[in-house]
Amino acid sequence: MKFFTRLCFILLMMTFSITDAQVQIRKFSTQKSKEIDFGSTIYYKLYSDSILKVELTKEIGILLTTSDSSFVLSDGIEIPIKDLKYLEIENKKNKKWRGVMSPFLITGIGFFIKGVTMAIAEGNESTNKKSIPLYTGTGLAVTLFSSVPFWIKNKSYDLTTGDYEILIP
């Protein structure tokens, strides 16, 4: 039993030491830094070495670890930091809230459309005087409230301006 307890303690401590390591992006002018945890999904653009000035598209990867001065992604790609032109970090909380609010968004749109359809097709009859404002108001409120996570964008950094510095521990 002691062996199992010690093994669990060692594995727990290793987990904490692994999650503690991270990459930092620091802005020169304010000295504020943002931490990128290992396991985060990042979007990046690389410098084009073409004479034709071809614009490279955004690539996606999961930051697994770092080596000397490069990122190592989960698919085995190693990207030197000096080759990065653009970096965007996916917000995990925002992704979670988008998943939670999606059904409410669809329901709110449904109620709103039902209220508008009732108002246009059936008119403002005596039975609809109370239900039309109820459906349209409730549907509009739920739609607006549940669409807030979709308005929030991921934090992005333009590394071509020289305002940011990537620090690897």
Complete edge-to-edge strand list for the sheet that includes strand 41-46: 78-80, 70-73, 59-67, 41-46, 84-89, 155-158
Give the containing element (helix H, strand E) for 4.
Answer: helix 2-20
Domain residue extents for the chain: 23-90+154-167, 94-150
Q: How many whole angstroms separate alpha carbon 72 and alpha carbon 68? A: 10
Q: How many whole angstroms separate alpha carbon 40 and alpha carbon 89? A: 7
119: confidence class by pLDDT, cuts 50, 70, 90? confident
Token pair in block for residue 43: 């979007």
Average pLDDT of the residues in 146-153: 92
The whole-number pLDDT of residue 49 equals 67
> With 60 as the cut, is the pLDDT of residue 142 above it?
yes
CB 112 within 8 A of CB 140: yes
54: confidence class by pLDDT, cuts 50, 70, 90? low
Token pair in block for residue 100: 């939670």
Query: In this predicted model, what pLDDT tens digit does every residue of 96-108 receive, in sequence order?
Result: 999 999 999 999 9
Q: How many CA atoms lie within 13 A of 146 on its CB side?
A: 17
Calculate helix-pair angle for 92-117, 128-146, nearest 10 degrees: 160
